[in-house]
Structure 1
Amino acid sequence: MTHTPHRRSRRTLVLVAGVAALGLPLVAVPAEAAGTAAATPAPRTGFEGSGGARWTGEQEETAFLAAVDRGSDRVSVRTIGTTRQGRPLRLATVGAPHAGTTVLLVCSQHGDEPSGREACLTTVRDLAYARDPETRRFLSRTTVLVVPSANPDGREADTRGNADGVDVNRDHIALQTAEGRAMAALIRDRRPEVIYDLHEYGGTSPYYDKDLLALWPRNPNADARVHDEAHTLSESYVRPSAGAAGFGSGIYGIWTDPLTGKPIKQVAGDGQERILRNTAGVKHSVGLLVETRVEALTDAERDDTARNQRRRVNTQLAALKGAFAYVDERRGRLGAATAAARLSGFADRGPVLLGGADNDPAEPAETIQDPPCGYRLDRAQYAEFGDELALHGITVRREGDGVLVPLRQSQRALVPLLLDGRATYRLTTGQPVEVC
């Protein structure tokens, strides 16, 4: 399937390092192009300084973010958590705080998938130092939250999981990791309209070998309006933006016939609520997973590691250009969709689905057709899991020596996913209550 690039808005951002430099041998530095004074040159990442031959080191990231924070009054960097090995989980906030639309970039949850981290670092800098009116206007109406290293212990060890071997991107329900807990608190407190999750993947030629793969929330509990906006983000903006930069794209998890382009089978990308793109949908944010291919695609890349790594980062940057264009052009529709979804739970109507996906209908056994009024937790259960409920932003009501967790709240569908005895990734089994 091919997609025609969406009409470019006059307000589309000029991200100097990530956009103007696409296809060049090295991601550029924005100092001159953005009009930054020569006395305060924009900092460079270790990746840029090496010509893409190596990834940015931990100390280099620390120094880079500190320099950007000092050099721009539109950026602030703070720590939102600490890993088991003592590394900070940093959040960079770009733009006017709490202004208009909030976008969250989550970078390199898997420590051995570094291209998203590099793209996020340079994006923070480019937004911070840009002087063009389009970017200034964008940031006056947008808060961009960036977690450049969502799994710094894994990044340091070059492992998929964190220091305990846990896949952080399978921990957005149980919240057993410091990384997952920090992300849940951030989502709860800032309620981003968009959650954009940057990854990499291993290809299977010739069926699964695009430069970029993308996927929206497939969990069937995602509000239809939010789901449709996420689909639009992927198919009308992110993938076309990558295509316009010369990168091939596809849908994550779907093998396609190389001759016809038709899908052959699905190998990944289901509706598990514990995966961030799905958690985002259940929590009423427009979520999107993006993945760049790790393997060398040409003989030139096979002969030159730096060329391969630059292609991976530039693909991420091209996709991000599309994501920001989406926010700029559809912020009204985006805001209306997420606001309506956040209110819908208070109506307390409709089934809750414990399985299935948007392309795989839930079985009858996976459907709570007539959900209870709420779930009761005893004192011991609440003592053990009360923190997790609070991190998810779930409202509870004290009753006797325990609590009642009502379904009538913004995140209505999340309550059974956390507490129903039939839910695969539940925190604990609550007692269904029919009358609240």
Structure 2
Amino acid sequence: MHRRTRCLALALTGALLTGGAVTAVAAPSAAAPATAASPALPAPAVTGGLRTGFELSGGAAWTTLEEEQRFLAALDESSERLTVTELTRTAQGRPVQLVTVGATADPAAIARGSSVLFSCTQHGDEPSGREACLSLARDLAATTDPATLDLLRRTTVLLVPTVNPDGVAADTRENSLGLDINRDHLLLETEEGRALAALIRDLRPDVVHDLHEYGPTPGTYDRDLIALWPRNRNVDERVHDLSVVLTEDAVLPAVAATGNSTGIYGYRYDPDGNVYAQRAGDGQERILRNTTGLKHSLGILVEASNAPADALEEQNPALLNQRRVSTQLTAARATLGLVAERRAEIADATAASAARSAAVRTPVAFAGADNELPDPDEVDLAPPCGYRLDAGQAAATADVLALHGLRTEPAGDGGVVVPTAQEGRDLVHLLLDERAQYGLTVGAAVPCA
């Protein structure tokens, strides 16, 4: 669908919302037919019930924080399959809330079963993901669609609609302390990052879908929605490969099938649709999509374009806002559709990844990405079997290690040893080794017996 034609279609159906160089490869087609590994869950017609502030305005205004609180409270009150809980409070006292939709809200049962986590609005000036998560929570709570009901019987859907409420209030990327939450999933210096770490540790989601927005560059970096998987070289192969399937075979085709253009996050495209450079999307372990993979979950970063596609969207910003949200919703439903179809395969891959980390000693890469080889001195082919922390280091790092679910062992004089033979093996190296790029502290290497 031509972009102008697509915008005219949105105008007619707007009531639905109110009620480094790399080798050139073929780009995902903007007009490709749906070739998703599984069908996306259907988009329900909104004909009654609760509305977000965004929906009530026809896309002219974003849902306020106060409207969000009323909306979530009403959802919690009206639905037996949905529960709203508070994860933490920000530096300015605003709540970060978790919406749980499914057959159970018991944390132990969720951790044992299948679950998907949607992380929304880590950056406070990227509102479309937040709107999509609020609408998706309502749609899942109210659905009568048999396929969706079957999904919810087997898989728990977890949504954090507003990870960064202080940033939303100020319309800033960072939180109120000036910290980028999406660069804080390793050292956990933000209260918001700590809350997500505890959530992932306790509920063990099989998939983490992270919603963002970006400002396109016309001609080279200008797609309606772009996405990417965990690129960190230490991510388990099956977890990595299924994350690629989620991105390339499910999410991007589903969005393309709606007439929206798609691409890979960070790739620049020439006029023929070939990749000529990658300028974002590396393997650094402190970004959620990479941390997710290191914690044995499939991961996907999704970014919607925040710029007008044509004159219609320039003249009517509500049309632009509707598209931003609709592409996010389509991507989210595609993720749920893949989980519905390949739940057992995904669960097996994530469980096997965790088991191998605890049982197998493998090389560790301290740099590079899945498409970028690290230098030889950035890879340890025979890494240590643990790190000793003295009493001061142990006290200073105890809470971060615990939030990551990392086990320590007493080592005398108040110190501890952090063994690598545990599920968070790679995180241990990336937090405590002297070669780590974003290390927490430098521990003394414990050789293997």
| TM-score, reference length from structure 2 | 0.90
Deviations 1:93-122 (A, max 9, x none): 000223541000000100000000000000
Equivalent in the alignment of 1:38: none
> Are residue 402 (structure 1) and residue 415 (structure 2) matched?
yes
Equivalent in the alignment of 2:52: 45
> Are residue 226 (structure 1) and residue 239 (structure 2) matched?
yes
Among candidates 251, 260, 281, match of residue 269 of structure 1 = 281
> Are residue 16 (structure 1) and residue 44 (structure 2) matched?
yes
Q: CA deviation at 1:7?
A: 5.7
How many Å separate the matches in 2 of 1:319 and 1:346?
Answer: 33
Instruction: Between the two structures, name the one with larger relative contact order (CA 8 Å, sep ≥ 6).
Output: 2
RMSD over aligned Cα, in angstroms?
Answer: 1.3
Unaligned runs of 5+ in 1: 18-28, 32-41
Equivalent in the alignment of 1:88: 95
Matches within 5 A, 1:138-287: 138-258=151-271, 260-287=272-299
Q: CA deviation at 1:6?
A: 2.6
The answer (yes or no) to whether the contact 1:15–1:130 under 8 Å persists in 2 is no
Unaligned runs of 5+ in 2: 1-26
Deviations 1:154-196 (A, max 9, x none): 0110000000110000000010000000000000000100000
The answer (yes or no) to whether the contact 1:198–1:290 under 8 Å persists in 2 is yes
Q: CA deviation at 1:30?
A: 4.6
Deviations 1:207-255 (A, max 9, x none): 0110000000000010000000000000000000001111110000000
Q: CA deviation at 1:5?
A: 2.0
The SS at the match of 1:213 is strand
How many Å separate the matches in 1 of 2:286 and 2:295?
Answer: 11
> Are residue 321 (structure 1) and residue 350 (structure 2) matched?
no
How many Å separate the matches in 2 of 1:106 and 1:435?
Answer: 38
> Are residue 6 (structure 1) and residue 35 (structure 2) matched?
yes
Matches within 5 A, 1:376-387: 376-387=388-399
How many Å separate the matches in 2 of 1:46 and 1:90?
Answer: 18
Deviations 1:112-135 (A, max 9, x none): 000000000000000000112221
The SS at the match of 2:182 is helix
Equivalent in the alignment of 1:372: 384
Q: CA deviation at 1:89?
A: 0.5
Q: CA deviation at 1:347?
A: 2.2
Equivalent in the alignment of 2:428: 415
Residue identity matched to 1:5? A
> Are residue 390 (structure 1) and residue 418 (structure 2) matched?
no
Residue identity matched to 2:138? R
> Are residue 331 (structure 1) and residue 343 (structure 2) matched?
yes
Residue identity matched to 1:15? A
How many Å separate the matches in 2 of 1:135 and 1:72?
Answer: 15
| TM-score, reference length from structure 1 | 0.93
Residue identity matched to 1:237? A
Equivalent in the alignment of 1:24: none
- State the aligned residue count: 413
Equivalent in the alignment of 1:111: 124
The SS at the match of 1:413 is helix
How many Å separate the matches in 2 of 1:188 and 1:6?
Answer: 33
The answer (yes or no) to whether the contact 2:36–2:254 under 8 Å persists in 1 is no
The answer (yes or no) to whether the contact 1:13–1:138 under 8 Å persists in 2 is no
Distance 1:324 1:334, change over 3 A: same
The answer (yes or no) to whether the contact 1:348–1:412 under 8 Å persists in 2 is no
How many Å separate the matches in 1 of 2:422 and 2:235?
Answer: 15
> Are residue 299 (structure 1) and residue 327 (structure 2) matched?
no
Residue identity matched to 1:115? S
The SS at the match of 2:289 is helix
The SS at the match of 1:59 is helix
Among candidates 374, 377, 394, match of residue 362 of structure 1 = 374
Deviations 1:340-397 (A, max 9, x none): 1010012232111111000001111211111111000111111111000000000111
Deviations 1:288-326 (A, max 9, x none): 000000111110000111111111001111111211111
Equivalent in the alignment of 1:131: 144
Distance 1:48 1:224, change over 3 A: same
Same amino acid, percent of matched pairs:
53
The answer (yes or no) to whether the contact 2:41–2:334 under 8 Å persists in 1 is no
Deviations 1:10-47 (A, max 9, x none): 7x533315xxxxxxxxxxx253xxxxxxxxxx211000
How many Å separate the matches in 2 of 1:13 and 1:250?
Answer: 21
The SS at the match of 1:230 is helix
